A and B are shown apart, each in its own frame.
Chain A
């Protein structure tokens, strides 16, 4: 035990080491605070939905109530959906800054709505977020390098190596102690603030524990890398240059190369093409006999087929039917698009097995539910909700039931949890 205390004292007396640890702690805390502030902002935005929504729907209900036309209600009512940040989102904001976490949809064609984005400043999104994942994946290895690149070589260069090695507790055990001590210190300055932040954010015990282990594993990787470089027996300077160059490759260059390779290997047609195709079908409905549209619609949705036939007057049920037919006409494209996205996501996660930097990022964003698959899951929930909305309004439109003020309250609510 005293041996450890001696090593600790020795380390903390080095200006470089003490400064590095303090700096890493400060950066970690700053990143956690920034992440929690961003998540709080997102939660506040979600919490502000009902007030704004009530005002909006209230105004629509006021005039729809006069004619009680369900079609007007369906056409003008936007219904909010949202993707609440998970308890761990503060640690890895992932894509939440660039993909929408609030989206309002109407019961109209979904494919024209679901790819809409929220307002964000692209220049601010470009460099990436300053969050815990960034500190861990990008910066922590540099601190490992600063503390561990010269464990052996500095003692050799200072002429102390033989003195130390000749002491009974001074051989390999000493280097192990020093490595473990540095690992433990780096781990603590990263993990202690994280654990506090995670507990405050209500993250589960198992999740916190997993991330603590993940941090330990990632740091261990860099420590082992430093130790391997040290075994080459070069000077401290050469060790520092080599490990920093490895960092550049593993953290900066190979992931970007991987990005290029994946996007090249898995080609995806732009989502714009889906919207274009859907728009064509939707607008063509005005130029073909309305009965054709209804026939196509009833074929797929026989539960509404007994609705009264169309007259020459405009009826919203036709309008909504051709929107839905339009959506269904691009279902194949949507599936392919989605499969492409999933393939890209899988490939990136697969790359994580080769590149620890990518691996840690992917585990963190996966656990924080802020990655592409979380975004796709959110879209699934929107689709689900949209289906409920359609059924709800169709129940009025196709049965010619009046839609009064009270009916607005009966509209299905988005269930954020499913």
Chain B
């Protein structure tokens, strides 16, 4: 029996921009139906990790795979399995929410009828009156809901999130976290790059600290309290301090 390929696999990856090493023997796997939060200071290599998974940059050495496909050599095939939300979800302001969803789905090689799209909007918590409004007036939270709805519709095994909760108010953060958990329930592997330790502690099954391109701390949720946030905070601060030094 062949074991199904891991949704996200990063194995001993090295990557340098010129002389400057960014990823340094980075290894990180995310299993289906789990949420992994990747924390780290500025320049720790978080965004580069995402770029490597999306096939925007190629690792110099090591192995990267999305569901067994190398995004470095087959970016388009790999991207078929990925939904990605950048820090600021910017969509076409002169199109309505439904039109934006249609367009993004088309670019994903997918077509869905209006009912399916509005169902996904409802599931993502987007109010009905916003469906046919142009996106110009949408808040970041509303835009994210559109993007998440598209991700839900695509039913991809991998969801990559880049600083999803920065700039959201506590209420919107809670809504968003609930959505991510819903996605996880469907068996999606979620990798979330964030600064927000509290949010990560709320929803992640596992928290990794990235520093100078390698994982320096790797904590898995445990028991009803899941994470000892105070201890995590101390460790995160230390790791950030070390980086600064």
On whether A and B touch (CB less than 8 Å), the answer reads yes
CB closest residue in chain A, given B83: A166
In the bound complex, how far is the Cα of B107 from the Cα of A174, in angstroms? 8
Query: Told that A163-B91, A164-B107, A166-B54 touch, could you supply 13 new A-B pairs with CB distance under 8 A?
Result: A3-B106, A10-B95, A10-B103, A158-B93, A159-B86, A160-B90, A162-B56, A163-B85, A166-B79, A166-B82, A166-B84, A167-B107, A169-B107
> Is the C-beta of A128 less than 8 angstroms from some C-beta in chain B?
no
> Is the C-beta of A312 less than 8 angstroms from some C-beta in chain B?
no
CB closest residue in chain A, given B156: A168
In the bound complex, how far is the Cα of B95 from the Cα of A6, in angstroms? 12
Whether A6 contacts B102 in the complex (CB less than 8 A), given A166-B54, A167-B79, A170-B107, comes out as yes
> Is the C-beta of A2 less than 8 angstroms from some C-beta in chain B?
yes
Closest Cβ of chain B: how far from A111's Cβ, in Å? 67
CB closest residue in chain B, given A14: B94
Question: What are 27 residue pairs bridging A and B, where the CB atoms are less than 8 Å apart in the complex?
Answer: A3-B106, A6-B102, A6-B107, A9-B99, A10-B95, A13-B94, A13-B95, A159-B90, A162-B54, A162-B86, A163-B84, A163-B85, A163-B91, A163-B147, A165-B56, A166-B56, A166-B86, A166-B160, A168-B76, A168-B77, A169-B76, A169-B106, A169-B109, A170-B79, A171-B75, A171-B76, A174-B107
Whether A6 contacts B86 in the complex (CB less than 8 A), given A168-B76, A169-B108, A171-B76, comes out as no
CB closest residue in chain B, given A15: B94
Which residue of B77, B90, B95 contacts A163 across the interface (Cβ within 8 Å)? B90
In the bound complex, how far is the Cα of B76 from the Cα of A165, in angstroms? 10
B residues near A (Cβ < 8 Å) are 54, 56, 75-77, 79-80, 82, 84-86, 88-95, 99, 102-104, 106-109, 111, 147, 160
CB interface residues, A 1-48, toward B, < 8 Å? 2-3, 6, 9-10, 13-14
Closest Cβ of chain B: how far from A15's Cβ, in Å? 8
Which residue of B90, B92, B104 contacts A167 across the interface (Cβ within 8 Å)? B104
Contact A162 B84 (CB under 8 A): yes
List chain B residues, Cβ under 8 A from A170: 79, 107-108
Digitize A255-279: 1 where CB-to-B-CB distance is under 8 Å, 0 elsewhere. Answer: 0000000000000000000000000
List chain A residues, Cβ under 8 A from B107: 3, 6, 164, 167-170, 174
Contact A168 B86 (CB under 8 A): no
Whether A2 contacts B79 in the complex (CB less than 8 A), given A159-B88, A163-B91, A167-B104, comes out as no
In the bound complex, how far is the Cα of B89 from the Cα of A168, in angstroms? 17
Which residue of A2, A14, A158, A166 contacts B111 across the interface (Cβ within 8 Å)? A2
List chain B residues, Cβ under 8 A from A171: 75-76, 79
Which residue of A6, A158, A165, A166 contacts B103 across the interface (Cβ within 8 Å)? A6
In the bound complex, how far is the Cα of B82 from the Cα of A29, in angstroms? 48
Contact A158 B90 (CB under 8 A): yes
CB closest residue in chain A, given B88: A159
In the bound complex, how far is the Cα of B109 from the Cα of A167, in angstroms? 9
Closest Cβ of chain A: how far from B160's Cβ, in Å? 8
CB closest residue in chain A, given B91: A160
In the bound complex, how far is the Cα of B75 from the Cα of A149, in angstroms? 27
In the bound complex, how far is the Cα of B84 from the Cα of A159, in angstroms? 14
Closest Cβ of chain B: how far from A378's Cβ, in Å? 55
List chain A residues, Cβ under 8 A from B86: 159, 162-163, 166
CB closest residue in chain B, given A170: B107
Closest Cβ of chain B: how far from A269's Cβ, in Å? 63
In the bound complex, how far is the Cα of B94 from the Cα of A264, in angstroms? 55
List chain A residues, Cβ under 8 A from B108: 167-170
Which residue of A14, A160, A168 contacts B80 across the interface (Cβ within 8 Å)? A168
List chain B residues, Cβ under 8 A from A174: 107
List chain B residues, Cβ under 8 A from A163: 84-86, 89-91, 104, 147
Question: Which of A13, A14, A169 has the most C-beta atoms of chain B within 10 angstroms of its own C-beta?
Answer: A169
Closest Cβ of chain A: how far from B56's Cβ, in Å? 7
List chain A residues, Cβ under 8 A from B56: 162, 165-166
Closest Cβ of chain A: how far from B113's Cβ, in Å? 13
Closest Cβ of chain A: how far from B211's Cβ, in Å? 24
List chain B residues, Cβ under 8 A from A14: 94
In the bound complex, how far is the Cα of B90 from the Cα of A160, in angstroms? 5
In the bound complex, how far is the Cα of B130 from the Cα of A196, in angstroms? 46
Question: Which of A9, A162, A169, A174 has the most C-beta atoms of chain B within 10 angstroms of its own C-beta?
Answer: A162
